Amino acid sequence: MEEKLIERLESAVGRLEALSGGFRQRGWPESGGDAGALDPSIVAFDDLMAQFVGRVSSAAEKIGGPVLDVTKVVAEAFSVQKELLIKVKQIQKPEVAGRTEFLKPLNEVITKATALTEGRRSDFFNHLKTAADSLTALAWIAYTGKDCGMSMPIAHVEESWQTAEFYGNKILVEYKTKDPIMWSGQKL
């Protein structure tokens, strides 16, 4: 009886050591790995992204130009978000010092989308602003508690959504053709 218990404990310790083996000093995982990709919540995220980002991409291909460019950035942002979600699921206890480095890929993609709205104003400015402003919602992952300086995740996403919706409504008013309205209606 005791031998079985010892074997089970050793097995459990071995699994725990294997899980914690991919962590660096700062407490952030070294890579997403395949194990996180098989997690049911990550699989559900993939399904949602395939469905919704796929529809937005199809509509953007019909419009082309800067709308297609910003839609590619949106797809990239959700890919980055997936990688961050996989990493977050592996973190035992995140440290503040590593948060900036952890969020850097997401920040770079959001900055890329925002840069598309700057400079000479495009005929598709409202499309670009809708996409760029909607991507700020992905920063909810940075929420670490009420003292972190951001709204709670639900409120943060809602605020970002309202800003993006403002420009999305402008698309509906401005365009009478099907493709830009279809793109806007996909709700990034």
pLDDT digits (tens, 9 = 90+) for 95-128: 767 888 889 999 999 999 999 999 878 889 999 9
26-180: CATH superfamily:
Adenylate cyclase-associated CAP, N-terminal domain (1.25.40.330)
* CB-count exposure of residue 188 (10 Å: 0-12, 13-18, 19+): buried
* CB-count exposure of residue 164 (10 Å: 0-12, 13-18, 19+): buried
Mean pLDDT confidence for 87-100: 76
In percent, the amount of the chain with pLDDT more than 70 equals: 71
**Segment 25-84, tens digit of pLDDT:** 334 344 445 556 678 888 999 988 888 888 889 889 999 999 999 999 999 999 999 999
* 23 phi, psi to nearest 5 deg: -95, 140
Gap between the Cα atoms of 144 and 44, Å rounded: 23
Gap between the Cα atoms of 163 and 76, Å rounded: 21
Q: Are 69 and 116 spatial neighbours (Cβ–Cβ below 8 Å)?
A: yes
Mean pLDDT confidence for 155-171: 91
* 124 phi, psi to nearest 5 deg: -110, 30
pTM (2 d.p.):
0.73
